[in-house]
């Protein structure tokens, strides 16, 4: 995509990073530097280029947000990234914990024509392997597992953190998109674990880990309608 549009891969990566860090909000330079694992001065220099291209808008206190043009580009990049993850996992059999890093390379090579063919071959797929929608503007009505009430039956919708270590850990417990869990209880205090049952087995998850697991109530009519639309 970068070569065909005249944009460099570096510019595309920054646009995607701003979306991942802030969505439709504002991103601080230090947060972008941390996300991209680069020095803050490098971020400052690239933001000037993005501004000159009309991809970002500067906000008070040094923060930036994507312009309408930038959001369109981010939408395309993230869709291609998540389609790439599906290609790697569904068609090539790559483990889901490795898909994100590999898709970061693939997404910049996909053209509009390849994207259309890939989507057609994958069929009725509207999320990446980690549960995130292909369309970043899609409504997200899920909530963190850490906020689920005791005795609530829930279904896992997405894993917010795609780090390989966490994905390996969760998949080993059977906690993947589509899995059904039941919240048994919560230990007191903000850092107390969340107690759940997965396939009838009791598990204890740290509160920070539970915050990264997006769920919906098992009997939520919105979820049933979404599942029916996929059939």
Q: Pull the structure tokens for residue 175.
A: 């906690």
Residue in 75, 79, 89, 84 with CA at minimum distance from that of residue 167: 89
Shared domain check, 102 and 168: no
67 with 156, same domain: the answer is: no
Please list the pLDDT of the chain residue by residue as tens digits (231 residues): 554 456 899 999 999 999 999 998 999 999 999 999 999 889 989 999 999 999 999 877 779 999 999 999 999 999 999 999 999 999 999 999 999 999 998 898 899 999 999 999 999 899 999 999 999 988 889 999 999 988 889 999 999 999 999 999 999 999 999 999 999 998 887 788 999 999 989 999 999 999 999 999 986 655 545 544 544
- How many domains would you assign to the chain? 2
Query: pTM for this one?
Result: 0.85
Same domain assignment for residues 10 and 106: yes
Tell me, what CATH number does 24's domain have?
1.10.10.10
- Do 126 and 164 belong to one domain? no
CA 113, chain centre distance (Å) = 24
Tokens for 218, please give them: 């098992």
Is the same domain home to 4 and 94?
yes
pLDDT recorded at residue 1: 54
Domain CATH code at residue 161: 2.30.30.90
The three-state secondary structure class of 176 is coil
Same domain, 74 and 168: no
Residues 147 and 124 in one domain: no
Q: Which two tokens stand for residue 40?
A: 């803050």
Q: Which residues contact 13 (CB under 8 A, 6 or more apart)?
A: 36, 104
In our burial notation (b when 16+ CB lie closer than 10 A, e otherwise), range 213-225 reads bbbbbeeeeebee
Query: Which ranges constitute the DSSP H helices of the chain?
Result: 2-5, 9-22, 29-36, 40-52, 68-86, 96-106, 112-122, 164-173, 207-211, 221-230
Residue that is last in its domain, among 113, 132, 151: 132
- Residue 35 and residue 59 share a domain: yes
d(CA 120, CA 123): 5
Residues 108 and 88 in one domain: yes
Domain extent for 10: 1-132
153 and 118 in a common domain? no
β 143-144/56-58 pair status: unpaired
- Alpha-carbon gap, residue 193 to 202, rounded angstroms: 12
Separation CA 227–CA 222 (nearest Å): 9
């Amino acid at each position: 995509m970068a070569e065909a549009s005249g944009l460099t891969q570096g510019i595309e990566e920054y646009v995607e990073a701003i979306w991942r860090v802030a969505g439709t909000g504002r991103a601080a330079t230090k947060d972008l530097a941390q996300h991209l694992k680069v020095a803050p001065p490098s971020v400052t220099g690239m933001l000037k280029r993005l501004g000159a291209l009309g991809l970002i808008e500067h906000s008070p206190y040094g923060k930036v947000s994507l312009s309408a043009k930038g959001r369109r580009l981010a939408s395309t990049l993230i869709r291609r990234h998540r389609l790439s993850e599906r290609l790697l996992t569904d068609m090539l059999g790559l483990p889901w914990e490795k898909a994100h890093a590999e898709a970061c390379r693939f997404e910049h090579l996909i053209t509009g024509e390849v994207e259309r063919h890939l989507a057609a071959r994958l069929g009725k797929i509207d999320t990446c392997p980690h549960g995130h929608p292909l369309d970043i503007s899609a409504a997200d009505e899920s909530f963190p597992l850490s906020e689920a009430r005791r005795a609530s039956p829930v279904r896992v919708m997405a894993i917010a953190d795609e780090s390989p270590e966490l994905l390996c850990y969760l998949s080993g417990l059977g906690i993947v998109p589509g899995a059904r869990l039941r919240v048994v209880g919560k230990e007191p205090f903000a850092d107390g674990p969340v107690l759940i049952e997965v396939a009838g087995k009791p598990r204890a998850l740290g509160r920070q880990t539970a915050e990264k697991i997006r769920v919906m109530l098992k009997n939520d009519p919105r979820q049933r309608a979404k599942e029916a639309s996929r059939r």
